[in-house]
Structure formats: C-alpha cells, structure tokens
Amino acid sequence: MKTFNRNKEAKMHAATCSECGKNCEVPFEPSPDKPIYCANCYEKEYKSGFSKTAKSKKKNENILDKLDRIIAILEDMKSEREG
C-alpha cells in the first residue's frame, strides 16, 4: 500500500524570483514565460494584484480617449460660439 505525504513531501523546484532575484523554491515546475515569485514577493504581488498594472493602463487609455472626445466637443462648441 502506498502512502501519500503530498503536503509534507511536496516536490519543490529551484527557481529564481522574478521580483527580487533571490533563489527560491516553488511547489510547481517553473515555466520560463511566467514570472516566478518567492514567498515574500508572491505575497506582496498577490496583495497588490498581479494584473493591476495592465488593467489600470487600459482604464487610463479609456479615460484619455473619453477626455479627447470631450475636449473635441468643447472645442467645437467654443469655435461655434466665437465663430
């Protein structure tokens, strides 16, 4: 009969933290196209939100796009009044 001690004997893989560059071990196989975080950085990144940067960038672009349109309308109104 086999015994499973998965929690105690989780296979760890050596990796380098993408954030702080320290050597760390992760309980999964590190893939080269994904950032690896050590426990400290993982917690930090997780708390601040992994995709926050990408999301807020998109949001900012939307706001800028709207602002551009509003400014264009205001400019139109101004030139109509003055013209």
* 19 versus 25: smaller Cβ distance to Zn ion: 19
Minimal distance in Å, beta carbon 13 to Zn ion? 15
Minimal distance in Å, beta carbon 42 to Zn ion? 8
Q: Given the rule CB under 5 A, which residues bind Zn ion?
A: 17, 19-20, 38, 41
Give the chain as a 3 state SS string: CCCCCCCCCCCCEEEECCCCCCEEEECCCCCCCCCCCCHHHHHHHHHHCCCHHHHHHHHHHHHHHHHHHHHHHHHHHHHHHHC
* 15 versus 38: smaller Cβ distance to Zn ion: 38
* 20 versus 70: smaller Cβ distance to Zn ion: 20
